[in-house]
Amino acid sequence: MRRRDVVGALVSAGMLGCAAAEAQSLSGEPRRIGVLTPQPIAEPSSLQREPFEQGLRQLGWIPGSNVVIEYHHAEGSLERLHHMARDLAERRVDLILARGTAAALAAKSVTNRIPIVLAVTPDPVRAGLVASLARPGGNITGLAFQPQGPLEAKQLELLRDGLPGIRRVAVLANALGQATARNAAGGTPLDNAASALGLQLVRFDVRAEADLPAALQGIVGASVDALLVQADPQILVPHRAVILALARQYRLPAIYPWKYFVEEGGLMSFGPSLHDLHIRSAAFVDRIFRGEDPAVVPIELPTRMELVLNRKTAEALGLEFSPMLATQADEVIE
């Protein structure tokens, strides 16, 4: 679904949701939403806050009027994330919007009563957040962007198609954030994809911010041809400037999970539109505030992925995108 289709659908839904939202605002106190995210407060509001509030307004929920939103940023600290979740539960907010697996797990650990909406979560079933996508079964519903294994397998395929000469690929991941199933032989979908593509993976896992320098040094010394960076809001996204600088300094082609990595100088990205996901999360808030039970509201997967290329970065690395890859791209940054 294109972004304009998402917005159009919400505008249509807003004609119905607005009446309910207005009725609620006249009959009682404003609803309170606690937004829980592992990322720093310095993250641009255009990435998360603005599209979420845009989606709410389209459905009749006006921040500061009939809904009050509290934004809580954990600055990459799991301990702080759990403390913030506990505080929201103790103050009995009407809903918690959790951005990422770590935030959702923190919220789930402190309440089974307050509705929790997932904004950006790879695989909520495997993470133990819900019973199934079709029928979550508890106080959690929302959006899952796709299990990381299949998504990263596609990223690896695109990396190989764009750079046919690569053989060894470094994978930078948050070890605590991985929830990818292994097959009977101990391999993941990413391992299987690498084998099918004739590529060798070299893994570099971090468990805390302090692990990142050693992981980056390891990548530099590993004689790899390319880099795949996992979608991780706790460590890798907040420190993307360091990762991007490493790739630039050592002329290392890399694929990233989100478009804004490429806008900030990365070579290429493949994944769902964060803008669309944050707008769409407002629809789940609206449904719950109008009385739906999150236990029976199906979790949605995105219907469209976007491939973004940076031609300027490619030229700086002495590379040229293959015609096949350039044709597939949703956007090429010149």
Residues 291, 310, single domain; the answer is no
**Which backbone phi and psi does 36 adopt, to 5 degrees?**
-115, 120
Do 266 and 290 share a structural domain?
A: no
Q: Are residues 249 and 261 in the same domain?
A: yes
Same domain, 187 and 310: yes
Q: Whats the size of the chain, residue-wise?
A: 334
The structure tokens listed for 231 are 């979608």
Spell out the alpha helix ranges (H) of the chain: 3-27, 49-58, 78-90, 101-110, 148-162, 189-197, 212-220, 240-249, 259-263, 274-289, 311-316, 323-328
Q: Calculate mean pLDDT across residues 77-99.
A: 95
Residue 224 has pLDDT above 90, yes or no: yes
Residue 324's pLDDT band, with cuts at 50, 70 and 90, is confident
55-64, 112-121, 180-189, 313-322: least confidently modelled range: 180-189
pLDDT tens, position by position, 36-48 = 998 877 666 667 8
Q: Please tell me whether residues 285 and 322 are part of one structural domain.
A: no
pTM: 0.81
Domain count for the chain, please give it.
2
In a domain, residue 324? The reply is yes
**pLDDT beyond 60 at 20:** no
**Residue 52 sits in which domain range?**
3-146+272-296
Q: Is residue 205 part of a domain?
A: yes
128 and 11 in a common domain: yes
Could you tell me which residue, 129 or 178, shows the higher pLDDT? 129
The answer to whether residue 301 is domain-embedded is: no
Give the confidence band of 13 by pLDDT, cuts at 50, 70, 90: very low
Supply the CATH number for residue 138's domain.
Answer: 3.40.50.2300
Both 313 and 179 in a single domain? yes
Cβ atoms of 166 and 253 within 8 Å: the answer is yes
Rounded CA-CA distance 229/5 in Å is 29
Distance CA 105, CA 84 (A): 12
Q: Are 279 and 321 contained in the same domain?
A: no
Which of 50-54, 279-283, 321-325 has the lowest average pLDDT?
Answer: 321-325
- Are residues 166 and 114 part of one domain? no
**What is the predicted pLDDT for the residue at 45?**
66
Judge if 137 and 230 occupy the same domain.
no
- Shared domain check, 140 and 284: yes
In a domain, 85, yes or no: yes
Q: For residues 99 and 174, state if they share a domain.
A: no
Residue 314, exposed/middle/buried by CB under 10 A (0-12, 13-18, 19+)?
buried
Least confident range of 56-60, 110-114, 146-150: 146-150
In this prediction, residue 77 has a pLDDT band, given cuts at 50, 70 and 90, of confident
